[in-house]
Structure 1
Amino acid sequence: MKSNCMHLAIPAGDLETAKKFYCDVLGCKSGNGEAGRWVDIDFWGNELTLHQSEEQLPNVRHDVDIGAVAVPHFGAHLPNDEFQELKARIEAAGLEYLDKPYLRFAGNEYEQETFFIKDPNGNVLEMKSMKNPELMFK
């Protein structure tokens, strides 16, 4: 059986704070969970499990074509209208970008707008809107 759903579990710090960020700011929905221990988040069709934790992941920067990006990171590819709505929600919440929105690969078939943001526990998310998403794995 083939599934297109990815599962990722991350340390979330304070679970209620993290849940509010993912649901109220990013617009995700919560699902199954165990109070005070973990909760599943519908992360644009993928299962993101937030675990109550005291630890944070260390982040380092790796050089790519646009400069140094935070690693590890995860995120989602969104249609442009959803991407713009997400940026508006982040800005309305008064959150700061780790790396502000910018255009990558401008003028070619892989053009994409992207930004990086941290969740309340320091996990780094990269959100993207691809000009031609069908070319991603051609």
Structure 2
Amino acid sequence: MSNILHLAIPAGDLKKTMVFYTDVLGCKIGNGEEGRWQDINFWGNELTLHQSEEALPSVRHDVDMGAVLVPHFGIHLEQDDFDALKDRIAAAGLDYIDEPYRRFKGDKYEQETFFISDPNNNVLEIKTMKNPEVLWPEG
């Protein structure tokens, strides 16, 4: 095991939030403490959801596609996995914060991205890169 990101966030109602991460996003359950916190496998990274009363504050920052919510976290997916996740979001009847949008068209960094929130209003950005190899070039 190496270079795994760990992130812990307030989850609000832990049971409700777990349904979002497991049923909609397809994440697997890891270690946990009933009613207090739960680790999930967030595409190879450890996301710890904490039962909480609070939610993270957020503000919008201007980028090329408009004003995006910060803080946010997310994942880069292969196109097929990205499309399958959009299908699961639609099947669950969830709304996007920011609809799927293609950024940097015709550029080496071309990508499709969308923003969605979990039940505690933690903001996630999910994206797929047309050329994922350009993200972290060798050297």
* TM-score, normalised relative to structure 2: 0.96
After TM superposition, the score normalised by the length of structure 1 is: 0.97
Residue 87 of structure 1 aligns with which residue?
86
Q: Is 1:132 paired with 2:131?
A: yes
Per the alignment, residue 30 of structure 1 pairs with 29
Kindly, what percent of the aligned residue pairs are identical?
A: 71
SS in 1 for 2:74: strand
Deviation at 1:118, TM superposition (A): 0.5
Which residue of 2 is the match for residue 67 of structure 1? Answer: 66
In structure 1, what is the equivalent of residue 108 of structure 2? 109
- The CA distance in 2 between the partners of 1:92 and 1:106, in whole Å, is 28
1: CA distance between counterparts of 2:62 and 2:2? 32
| Shift >3 Å, 4+ stretches | none
SS of structure 1 residue aligned to 2:136: coil
Which residue number in structure 1 is paired with residue 18 of structure 2?
19
Q: Compute the RMSD of aligned alpha carbons.
A: 0.9
Greater Cα offset, 110-119 or 63-72: 63-72
Rounded Cα–Cα distance in structure 2 between residues aligned with 1:5 and 1:133? 19
Equivalents in 2 of 1:59, 1:106: separation in Å? 28
* Local SS of the residue matching 1:3: coil
Paired amino acid for 2:38: V
Please state how far the C-alpha of 1:6 moved relative to its aligned partner.
Answer: 0.3
- Count of aligned residue pairs for this structure pair: 137
Q: Distance in 1 between matches of 2:127 and 2:73?
A: 11
- For 2:17 and 2:61, the matched residues in 1 are separated by 26
Letter in 2 for 1:7: H
1:47 aligns with 2:46: yes
Provide, for residues 62-85 of structure 1, a one-character-per-residue CA deviation record: whole Å limited to 9, x for no partner: 011221110000000000000000
For 1:101 and 1:68, the matched residues in 2 are separated by: 14
